[in-house]
Structure 1
Amino acid sequence: MKKWLYVSTFALSLALVGCADQEEKGADKEIQKEEVAKQDEAADTSTVKKEEFQDGVDEEAFQKALASFPTTVPEKIVTTSVPLTEMLHLLEITPVGVPTSTNPIPSDFDSITKIGSPMSPDLEVISSLQTDLILGASSLQSSLDQALQGMNLPTAYLPTDSYDDLKLSFKVLGTYFDKEDKVNEILQNLVAKEKELEEQAQGKELPSVMLVIGTSDSFMVMNDKSYLGSLVERLGADNIAKSVLKAESTYSPMNLEDIVVADPYIVFVLASGDHGANEDKFKQEIEKNSAWQQLSAYKNDKIYMLDYSIFGVTSITNAETALTTIADYFYK
């Protein structure tokens, strides 16, 4: 009887141990499932976060530009660039000096000291402002550095010539001055617009385009290095200055014989009486040279005059409008 009781007790113990093992294994499996679910959720969250901050800015160029700024964030900034002045305004950073320009400066900065034109600022005025940093456009760096020789004033330069330049420079300034939230807000709006326009373009053949700018004495074609050219390139259209004419300079003299052969479907003309030739002068150009009338753009009424205030000056504020306007012409 005792033997039977011992065997029964032993069997019961084994059964209980087995149940405990099963319960423990089941619990382990549940824990594993929870861990996997958490990892998947974290991965999904990470993916979303990564997608949220894909602003299209070249990381290497961004880090290089950011590294060119002083270690100590300056309190008194003078800017010699209109596009960079606009960016400072968006970031709620008030400089002590801004450029004098026919191009618009934020009205909130009307009372700020004017330091002269971007190409030849008044060095005496700049020096009197006791600035901690002169912020200028990369395109004018060599001339400004030469003018500032011997003045021992810190400088930083950012590119402002193209659409991608604007995004890069805005991100650099926002990061440097700890204004990432504002930068992300604006850049994400631009990225959203880019994606929207890309979706519109799917399945459509974008037209060949020629970009023309009026100077004081002639008209020139613009390649992809110009602001307008960078917008056209971003939208994926063919700029004949780059693809056919092989123009290496941002602005190149027009050769109508080559243009007639290239036969662009759309011609965008950037003309302003304040900055060179106006619309009337371009019409005179067409009338005096019959080659223009051979173009498909002329025959199909696809020659468009663009607003200089939107396309003649690089502007992070107007970038979304500029992209949308050009895209609308493509889809007409």
Structure 2
Amino acid sequence: MRKSLLAMLIAIVMVLSACAEQPAKKEENPAASPETSEATAAVSDGVDDARVQEILAQFPESISERVATTSVPVAEMLHLLGITPVGVPTSTNPIPAAFDQVERIGSPMQPDLEVVTALKSDLLIGAESLRSTLEKTLEGIELQTSYLPTDSFADLKLSFKVLGTYFNKQEEMNTKLQSITDKEVELQKLTEGKELPSVMLVIGTAESFMVMSEKSYLGSLVGKLGADNIATSALKVTDTYSPINMENIVAADPDIILVLASGDHGATADKFNKEIEKNEVWTKLSAYQNKKIHMLDYSTFGVTSIINVEKALTDISQFFIDK
């Protein structure tokens, strides 16, 4: 009888011990899982890896050895990755000096087909926003093409990761993406807990001035820092660029107005000042009365640039921190 009781006691102890060990085993699995570690690393730069794979699907299976591009932002990315293309666009926007001797293939929208053909490129990379125009221009030419989004801050990081992954340049890619991410975190900490101002973004052409939404490059920088762009919150515009409606702007009364000034695009600072003189309604705005209308350099804030993006973020943040 005693032996039976002893055997039952031992069996119960063994069962309880097995149950106690089971939860501890489960807790170790997530931390030890290689898949979990990879997933954490993949999202640390804020880039959607599903989108990366989606865009990569349009690239050739083998790595291109003679790549050309019709996009200035893409030319910058290739430069940072240590890749020299056989052709770059002809543009008033600066191309990396390292590519001074690289063949110019014409405008981003209408490249010179004779030059493109002569280069014997095995891949032409263009801007997604110009895809339809480029495809019409290249109709009839047997050439592998891929397109990358380049309009916003998020687009820059996404497309850079696509190129870095495709060309197997992970070290260069990760170094730059980490630098950008570090800058984001640094600036977001500076504005953390602060009441950020409302902002209106203005760009001018030879004909008129327009309001910019968060879809614009400058708008995406402002949005990344957490400031309120009245184009979206108050004016409810849906297009990247919309006509100015002074009645609605007065009602929204932005704290700060940022104006992209560019002589090349017919919108100098002097022209904007004349616009204010013509319409005294501008003088009713808090931004005007508090001297919070700032002119921005188009080359830094009007053109998406992986090289200048950290400077652009830093410069924009100063308007919010020092408000």
Task: With the length of structure 1 as denominator, give the TM-score of the two structures.
Answer: 0.86
2:305 pairs with 1:310 = no
Matched, 1:105 2:89: no
- Residue 229 of structure 2 corresponds to residue 212 of structure 1: no
Partner of 2:270: 280
Residues 291 and 50 of structure 1: CA distance in aligned 2, closer, same or farther (over 3 Å)? same
Aligned position for 2:239: 249
CA contact (8 A) 2:213 2:238 kept: yes
**Matched residues in 2 for 1:52 and 1:59: separation?**
7
1:260 to 250, 268, 278: 250
Aligned to 1:160: 150
Alpha-carbon RMSD: 2.3
Where does structure 1 lack aligned partners over 5 or more consecutive residues?
1-31
In structure 2, the partner of 1:90 is: 80
Number of aligned pairs?
302
Question: What's the offset of the Cα at 1:276?
Answer: 2.4
Deviation at 1:244, TM superposition (A): 1.0
1:72 matched to 2:62: yes
The residue identity in structure 2 corresponding to 1:145 is: E
Which of 142, 146, 162 in structure 1 is aligned with 2:132? 142
**Are the aligned partners of 1:52 and 1:188 in contact in 2 as well (CA < 8 Å)?**
no
The answer (yes or no) to whether the contact 2:43–2:49 under 8 Å persists in 1 is: no
Deviations 1:228-262 (A, max 9, x none): 00011111111011111111110111111110111
Q: Which whole-Å deviations, capped at 9, do the CAs of 1:2-21 have from their partners, x for residues lacking one? A: xxxxxxxxxxxxxxxxxxxx
Q: Name the structure 2 match of 1:125.
A: 115
CA displacement at 1:50 relative to structure 2: 2.5
Task: Give the whole-Å Cα distance in 1 for the aligned partners of 2:183 and 2:62.
Answer: 35
Distance 2:83 2:245 in 1: 46
Task: Name the amino acid aligned to 1:111.
Answer: Q
Match of 1:221 in 2: 211
* Over 4 Å off, 4+ runs: 35-44, 46-49
Q: 1:256-278 CA distances to partner (integer Å, 9 max, x unpaired)?
A: 11101110000000010012211
Could you tell me how far apart the structure 2 residues matched to 1:322 and 1:146 are?
A: 34
Letter in 2 for 1:284: K
Which SS does the other structure have where 1:168 is aligned?
helix
Corresponding residue SS for 2:214: coil
Q: For 2:161 and 2:30, how far apart are their aligned partners in 1?
A: 31
The residue identity in structure 2 corresponding to 1:158 is: L
> Shift of residue 198 of structure 1?
1.6
Letter in 2 for 1:186: K
Look up the SS of the partner of 1:274 in the other structure: helix
8 Å contact kept, 2:42–2:49: no
Q: TM-score, normalised by structure 2?
A: 0.88
Q: Aligned residue for 1:27?
A: none
